[in-house]
Structure 1
Amino acid sequence: MSNAKTSLLKKLESNEAVIGIVGLGYVGLPLMLRYNDLGYRVLGFDIDSGKVEQLNSGKSYIEHIGSERIARASSQGFEATTNFERVSEADAIILCVPTPLNKYREPDMSFVVATADAIKPYLRAGQVVSLESTTYPGTTEEELLPRIQEGGLKAGREVFLVYSPEREDPGNPCFETRTIPKVVGGYTENCREVGIALYSKAIDMVVPVSSTRVAEMTKLLENIHRAVNIGLVNEMKIVADRMGIDIFEVVDAAATKPFGFTPYYPGPGLGGHCIPIDPFYLTWKAREYGLHTRFIELSGEVNRAMPEYVVGKLMEGLNEHGKPVKGSKVLVLGIAYKKNVDDMRESPSVEIMEILEKKGANVAYSDPHVPVFPKMREHHFELNSVDISPESLRAYDAIVIATDHDKFDYDMIEKNAVLIVDSRGKYRDFQSNVIKA
């Protein structure tokens, strides 16, 4: 056993290791809190100086993570910084940076590459680097490995390289960082052993796999499974609607089967940082091997078409009221990508808003979790959330339920809205002013 490995394992086991987390968002921040709670000293790295300033003043910018938790972490030694030279202070460096798609739906590895380039001058013997960002099989070996070895350190002997995909589910009260099993793959057996030691203190169940590629593919399979099944039920929704059948009733009935069926529910499209994006990482990589991932691509087509489908149902409803979409006042309820969170990443609600705006509608939104429309990479609205009341609802030609937050008063909405387009199955019984989309 190398001296570097022995020393690092001892530090991890005794909670004396310094944990460095790069990327302090929906993945990195909960991980920071978990290690901080265990007594590790945690350094947080982010290129966003505004985030760093907020964290160091004890404030949170993520709704389901309270500021009191950040303040407590700071009092227990947590510190955030934009100075990557301090990577040398960390014994473990966990990368939690975005991996979006570019406009051609190809992997955008710029955040991973830029982060690897930022940390590599400050790496030293006795450190472990773990990538948690979702990506295609081979990324850890192809992008990280040459960079961490560039200065002469040998992976598996002096530094240790791990891939362990994040599995955060923001706003899900049934799971937290500690209780979600953690898949860990290492570049070498020594790397895997160090990775297990890194995560076994913080996570109840660690699932070792034979390589970083297996771990990378595992995360993709998890999300492709969801994307394909959601695509299937979205397509079934369209067929059921044409036949006059309520797809939500169908799914609920099918879910009573105690074996061989898992319920997936339709919606206005896919959102979040994983499901709309990750399948295309495998699609892109498979081309290198001369393969076409037909299931993935077909489900992607179906899911990407759902915002247009919802707008089409809205237009049908407006036509029945003798109104064109151009000039109509439309209120979109819920613009986060899923219920009860403030996470806007890849939200189909925003696509619905953009389609409506292009068609000439006057678009507003209401979301108790998103009071001001945030700055986004590809979407721009200068809007604030509208407070809904019986009077305000009656002022709109149509209401689109895009995200079914629990804070909405659905009885009040149904009683006062002129027209409701329901993409989330909130209204199961017949209502004359509701169109199921």
Structure 2
Amino acid sequence: MSAVYNDAASAAASALAPPASDVATVAVIGMGYVGLPTALALRDAGFPVVGIDISEQRLDAIRSGAVDLLDRDRPRLTEALRSGLLDLTSELRALAAADAVIIAVPTPVDDDFAPDLRAVHAACGAAVMHARAGQTIVLTSTTYVGTTQELLVEPLTERGFTIGEDIHVAFAPERINPGDALWEQATVPRVLGGATQACAEAAAQIVAATASKLHVVSSPEAAELTKLQENTFRAVNLAFANEMAAAAGFYGVDPVEIVEAASTKPYGYLAHYPGPGVGGHCIPVDPYYLLAPLRDGGVPSPVTESAMVAVAGRPAAVADRALALTAERGIADAGARILLVGVAYKPGVEDHRESPALRIAGRLARRGAQVSYHDPLIPTVDIPGAGTQHSVVAPDAADYDLVVVAVVHPEHHYAFLADAEHVLDATYRTPGGQFRHAL
């Protein structure tokens, strides 16, 4: 059975401001792009928060404000640190003093696209080791179905706790879109599944402070699968968008024009746009947490499997198309001078982890091309096969045999593209270039 807690965040904030001595202290394990905004939201709601991260470098960056946040969130961080309601530590023993624990550690995949579970195993293990009666533990990291049961419920039971009575456990997947000023965390509903009804109710008292409302599902497994369905849906549709872009190129029409025209249909269609590949920590990663157990269980998933092959192969396809274009003009791979525009994993962020643009650059470099890049948000980056590179601040596009556009940041200017002779625009959105080429 599902339930919805309307305006839960507002109710929690109202009830908890100003903070009182009996307000629950919340420990957040993992102070990355999910944990830090979560800690700020909890602090804004009046909870004293302890942010825990094993990286002292990350904690120092947070203390100095040198982290990737929306501009409007920087004063929130400054005030949180100044208020004394946000403490930062690398000491896991701080978990024992917390009334609630939120686990927000990364769940990446390795080079072979196998789920890398080390961080979530370590974080859950620490939470279990330091658990005490009266705590509420909420896992938010995207992971395989059954993680909450396997890594929290079962070991806590083995320690002698009675789940739903003297300790509470739930799964509430994060819904944070870095760099998105429209759908900030507090405006997005959250899904929550408790190990018992009492667990769901206890977790709701904490999670409600980070969302516009809660949708409570029947179990942690239901909540875990919900998150995997959300991001697998996106991956499949982005793969389809790239496929349709190729079809549009075959017919000589603009794929973005087609998407926007289809979007005028008020039902049964959700716009997805083609691009150079799928980046970030969720969409190109999370479906593998769905697929791996299904493969082991012999459950076929041909649509998702095919989509993820296409997603993984997209950056290489862009790079190979770029070198095919220069080869058509008699330029050998080793002599090709290529300017890559944008290396962030998506527009508007300073983060280049899991960036398809870097995979494009790496493949170009391995084939011998001379790769330069321009990104106004990322001054320095390591390109596989080319070493450390610095962004070309004011590029003269005419100096390059080809300009490959991978990421265009809002509120930045790209007038230099007008001077380019040949442009391969993997965003399908920029003007410029005497000769423009399709993927």
Same fold? TM cut 0.5: yes
2:401 is aligned with 1:397? yes
The 1:83–1:420 alpha-carbon spacing in structure 2 relative to 1, beyond 3 Å, is same
Q: Report if aligned partners of 2:186, 2:212 keep a CA contact under 8 Å in 1.
A: yes
Mapped to 1, the partners of 2:329 and 2:295 lie a distance apart of 49
Matching residue's letter, 1:21: V
> Counterpart of 2:5?
none
The 1:138–1:380 alpha-carbon spacing in structure 2 relative to 1, beyond 3 Å, is farther
Residues 294-333 of structure 1 aligned to structure 2 (within 5 Å) = 294-333=302-341
Deviations 1:394-437 (A, max 9, x none): 22222111112124423x23321232110001247x95322133
Matching residue's letter, 2:66: S
Mapped to 2, the partners of 1:316 and 1:432 lie a distance apart of 18
2:42 is aligned with 1:46? no
Matching residue's letter, 1:117: G
Q: Report if aligned partners of 1:12, 1:198 keep a CA contact under 8 Å in 2.
A: no
2:260 is aligned with 1:235? no
Mapped to 1, the partners of 2:120 and 2:67 lie a distance apart of 23
Paired positions, count: 421
Residues 110-189 of structure 1 aligned to structure 2 (within 5 Å) = 110-189=118-197
> Counterpart of 2:67?
61
Deviations 1:308-345 (A, max 9, x none): 22123212321343322222221211111110111223
Matching residue's letter, 1:403: V
Matching residue's letter, 1:399: V
Which 10-residue stretch deviates more, 195-204 or 64-73? 64-73
Q: Report if aligned partners of 2:421, 2:434 keep a CA contact under 8 Å in 1.
A: no
Mapped to 2, the partners of 1:129 and 1:329 lie a distance apart of 53
The structural deviation recorded for 1:280 is 1.4
The SS at the match of 1:152 is coil
- Which ranges of structure 2 fall in alignment gaps of 5 or more residues? 1-11
The 1:12–1:123 alpha-carbon spacing in structure 2 relative to 1, beyond 3 Å, is farther
> Counterpart of 2:90?
82
The structural deviation recorded for 1:70 is 2.1
Residues 187-202 of structure 1 aligned to structure 2 (within 5 Å) = 187-202=195-210
The 1:379–1:38 alpha-carbon spacing in structure 2 relative to 1, beyond 3 Å, is farther
Mapped to 1, the partners of 2:244 and 2:194 lie a distance apart of 41
Matching residue's letter, 1:182: R
Deviations 1:271-307 (A, max 9, x none): 1111101111111111243201111011111122211
Q: Report if aligned partners of 2:59, 2:88 keep a CA contact under 8 Å in 1.
A: yes
Q: Report if aligned partners of 1:85, 1:119 keep a CA contact under 8 Å in 2.
A: no
The SS at the match of 2:216 is strand
Which 10-residue stretch deviates more, 26-35 or 379-388? 379-388
The 1:43–1:33 alpha-carbon spacing in structure 2 relative to 1, beyond 3 Å, is same
Q: Report if aligned partners of 2:139, 2:171 keep a CA contact under 8 Å in 1.
A: yes
Task: Find the partner of 2:371 among 363, 380, 384.
Answer: 363
After the TM superposition, list the runs of 4 or more consecutive aligned residues in structure 1 that deviate by more than 4 angstroms. 10-15
> Counterpart of 1:433?
435
Q: Report if aligned partners of 2:341, 2:374 keep a CA contact under 8 Å in 1.
A: yes
The structural deviation recorded for 1:109 is 1.1
Deviations 1:333-370 (A, max 9, x none): 11111101112231110110110011101112111121
Deviations 1:191-246 (A, max 9, x none): 11111111223322111000000000000111111111111111122232233232
The SS at the match of 2:372 is strand
> Counterpart of 1:5?
none
Deviations 1:96-115 (A, max 9, x none): 10111123322211101111
Matching residue's letter, 1:25: G
2:416 is aligned with 1:413? yes
Q: Report if aligned partners of 2:13, 2:209 keep a CA contact under 8 Å in 1.
A: no
Q: Report if aligned partners of 2:397, 2:417 keep a CA contact under 8 Å in 1.
A: no
> Counterpart of 2:80?
73
Which 10-residue stretch deviates more, 281-290 or 207-216? 281-290
Q: Report if aligned partners of 1:58, 1:68 keep a CA contact under 8 Å in 2.
A: no
Mapped to 1, the partners of 2:76 and 2:392 lie a distance apart of 29
Mapped to 2, the partners of 1:179 and 1:325 lie a distance apart of 48
> Counterpart of 2:8?
none
Mapped to 1, the partners of 2:66 and 2:162 lie a distance apart of 38
The structural deviation recorded for 1:162 is 0.7
Mapped to 1, the partners of 2:41 and 2:292 lie a distance apart of 34
Q: Report if aligned partners of 1:366, 1:386 keep a CA contact under 8 Å in 2.
A: yes
Deviations 1:130-160 (A, max 9, x none): 1111111111101222333343222211111
> Counterpart of 1:207?
215
> Counterpart of 1:101?
109
Mapped to 2, the partners of 1:63 and 1:209 lie a distance apart of 31
The SS at the match of 2:161 is coil
Mapped to 1, the partners of 2:155 and 2:134 lie a distance apart of 16
Matching residue's letter, 1:253: A
Mapped to 2, the partners of 1:69 and 1:379 lie a distance apart of 40
TM-score under structure 1 length normalisation? 0.91
Matching residue's letter, 1:23: G
Q: Report if aligned partners of 1:366, 1:387 keep a CA contact under 8 Å in 2.
A: yes
Deviations 1:251-287 (A, max 9, x none): 1221122222111111111111111011111111112
Q: Report if aligned partners of 2:13, 2:46 keep a CA contact under 8 Å in 1.
A: no
The SS at the match of 1:364 is strand
Aligned sequence identity (%): 34
The structural deviation recorded for 1:380 is 8.1
- Which ranges of structure 1 fall in alignment gaps of 5 or more residues? 1-9
Deviations 1:74-93 (A, max 9, x none): 11121110001111121111
The 1:289–1:353 alpha-carbon spacing in structure 2 relative to 1, beyond 3 Å, is same
> Counterpart of 1:276?
284
Q: Report if aligned partners of 2:187, 2:211 keep a CA contact under 8 Å in 1.
A: yes
The 1:202–1:11 alpha-carbon spacing in structure 2 relative to 1, beyond 3 Å, is closer
